[in-house]
Amino acid sequence: MIQNLNFKWAVHGLLAIFSGLLLFHVLVILQVIPYAIVWGGKLESVQQMQRFETEAIIINLIIIGIVLTKAGYVLHSLQNSRAMQFVLWVLVIAFSINALGNFLADTTVETLIFTPLTLLSAVLMYRLAIERQ
């Protein structure tokens, strides 16, 4: 069933999700969005939030780079490499586990919004992982 999902749609879906997440993390750093609703509600200071959110932004940029590479937009030589396949499968597993963490989070936002978003990311990343171009 997932293999019937259009590859380009999965790519664009992931790019939209992670671009939105980048904006979200920037708004948390700027304190437009309260940091109490992220990271399971466990952050204890502005400094801790800034560190975690900076790491989240870097990770999101890396994931966007991975998606762009798999789609053939950048780094064409890595597009179908074993390393790329390995990274995609690691991300599928990581998003699946993260969805469980979001579901069990203390904050309603993480449970209601980020659980389905993370599950969708896992499904779309799975679609990229099974693509053989």
Q: Give domain limits for the chain.
A: 2-129
- Tokens representing 133 are 């171009």
Question: Which tens digit of pLDDT belongs to each residue from 47-66?
Answer: 999 999 999 999 999 999 99
pLDDT of residue 77: 76
pLDDT of residue 121: 95
Question: Is the pTM for the entire model greater than 0.75?
Answer: yes
Tokens 């259009």 correspond to 6
Dihedral, 100, 36, 66, 61 alpha carbons, nearest 10: 180
Contacts of 56 (CB under 8 A, 6+ apart): 21, 25
Which range of 46-60, 74-88, 98-112 scores highest in mean pLDDT? It is 46-60
